[in-house]
Amino acid sequence: MLERRFAVIDADGNGVWQRDDGVLLTRRLCETFGQAPDSAAGQAVARAQQALFDAMLAHFDANNDAQISRDEFVAGVGLDIADRAGFDAAVGSTARTLIQVADTDGNGVLDPGEYTRLAAAYGARADQAERAFSRLDQDRNGVLDAAELTAAISQFFASRDPRARGNVAFGHV
């Protein structure tokens, strides 16, 4: 399960999570939602991806090579995060900017269609995104808000629990 989670963030599939994966993912997200990478939303996503990578690099990068291998990721998930405040800030920013770029109707939350498009940028099929959405919508109100997406992303990176809702933060696992 942890190796499958890693595959979601290794956007170029080269076996390591590195800064370029965030650039590639930002480009995919912007293309998916018709945003220019240099737009305000595109720049916000890029900054958030960078901050999340930096927070995770500090936690996972055991050999200090400025990238996170699959083995480092698998070994580090579930361990106490030294800079929890920094991690929480990066995760929250990531969730808010993902909503900002994917919220095509401008209501501040993600409906199932918006989430399906977001999850597709991470490689999820529509049926996987539909199942994920139902797990992530904790209050069952039919939309994902920043708190729900933040909790899911936090679990995705910090929980070893195979039942954690965050396993499907990006649409599938």
pLDDT in tens, 151-162: 999 999 999 998
pLDDT at 58: 95
Residue 68's beta-bridge partner residues? 17
Residue 69's beta-bridge partner residues? 16
Is the CB of residue 81 less than 8 Å from the CB of residue 158?
Answer: yes
Q: pLDDT tens-digit profile of 119-140?
A: 999 999 999 999 999 999 999 9
Helix (H) or strand (E) holding 16: strand 16-17
pLDDT at 173: 64
pLDDT at 1: 83
Structure tokens given for 167: 């396993």
pLDDT at 24: 95
Instruction: Tell me the one-letter amino acid at 154.
Output: S
pLDDT at 172: 78
pTM: 0.94
Task: Give the residue among 93, 94, 121 at the shortest CA–CA distance from 34.
Answer: 121
Task: Give the residue among 64, 66, 51, 63 at the shortest CA–CA distance from 17.
Answer: 66
Helix (H) or strand (E) holding 69: strand 68-69
Is the CB of residue 143 less than 8 Å from the CB of residue 109?
Answer: yes
pLDDT at 162: 87
pLDDT at 94: 97
CA 161-162-166 angle, to 5 degrees, is 80
Parts of the chain with a pLDDT under 70 = 173
pLDDT at 141: 98
